[in-house]
Amino acid sequence: MSLPGLDHARLSRPWAAGGATDLTARILAPKMSKILGVPIQA
């Protein structure tokens, strides 16, 4: 069942894919992994 006007893709990911979003994740993942001591997938 789907509600009219409800965009499920926007609910699960409120930002657009690619570009600055992707670059930020790729830069921060190794740094966060080092700080937290656990592997992080970007």
**What would the DSSP string read from start to end of the chain?**
---TT--HHHHH--S-SSTHHHHHHHHHHHHHHHHHTS----
Residue 35 pLDDT > 90, yes or no?
yes
* Amino acid (1-letter code) at residue 31: K
Token code pair at residue 12 = 């699960």
Q: What is the pLDDT of residue 4?
A: 58
* 6-18 residue pLDDT tens: 555 555 555 666 6
Q: Which residue has the higher pLDDT, 1 or 35?
A: 35
List the domain boundaries for the chain: 17-42
CB neighbours of residue 28 within 10 Å: 13
Q: Which residue has the higher pLDDT, 2 or 31?
A: 31
Angle at 12 between CA 7 and CA 16, to 5 degrees: 80
Q: Which residue has the higher pLDDT, 29 or 9?
A: 29
